[in-house]
Amino acid sequence: MVTQGQTPTVDEAAARASVSRTTAYRYFPNQRELLVAAHPEIEARSLLPETAPSDVAARLDSVITAFLRLIVDTEAQQRTMLRLSLDPHPGHRGELPLRKGRAIGWIGEALSPLRGVMPERDLRRLIFAIRSAAGIEALVWLTDIAGLSRKEAVQLMRWSARALLLSALANAGAVGHQIRRARQPKGSSRRRSPT
């Protein structure tokens, strides 16, 4: 129903599934519970693994990879939510379950080690820049307009996120040892300059 542009109520979903309202409400007492069951990412507070890396570039790549997996796995629903969010009659925008800005929080958590390393204004700008380069909007453009495969599009969005991070760190003079280490090939004995 979501892929058809609807945000179904429990009653509507029950009718479509030919299930009694009583049965539907036993499992899903309200619309939010129904949508959470259909899209568990709605409730995800973090996309970092249980043992999150300390290296900010690794943290970001982990979150972006998980975020893009969600986008690709629910692409039809994501496209519908994007289309509905662009509706010139914005009355229902606040009700769109997959358009709540959760990715901003996920990316912010990945970049949290940068708090105090760069001004909060610059960190917020970086978070927004990364989100603008990774998500359903970018996927639609990269696949529909640029003609990339989904795999190529995901790789490019991950590359873009890292490039934005490294650029922001360089501008802040905050390129630390962990970022440098992540860029060197294994076994490299090249000496790093002190920071």
pLDDT tens profile 139-170: 999 999 999 999 999 999 999 999 999 999 99
What long-range pairs does 61-64 form, CB within 8 A, spacing at least 24?
61/158, 61/161, 61/162, 62/110, 63/106, 63/107, 63/109, 63/110, 64/107, 64/110, 64/130, 64/134, 64/157, 64/158, 64/161
Give the helix ranges, DSSP H, for the chain.
10-17, 21-27, 31-38, 56-73, 75-85, 102-110, 120-133, 136-140, 150-172, 177-183
Residue 193: what pLDDT? 37
Spatial distance between the Cα atoms of 94 and 151, rounded to a whole number of angstroms: 31
Contact 110, 45 (CB under 8 A): no
The answer on pLDDT for 171 being more than 80 is yes
User: 28 phi and psi, to 5 degrees?
Assistant: -130, 90
Is the pTM higher than 0.85? The answer reads: no
Residue 138: what pLDDT? 97
Q: Report percent pLDDT > 90 for the chain.
A: 45
pLDDT tens profile 32-74: 677 666 655 555 678 888 888 889 999 999 999 999 998 998 8
Among candidates 9, 101, 25, 103, which has minimal Cα distance to 64? 103
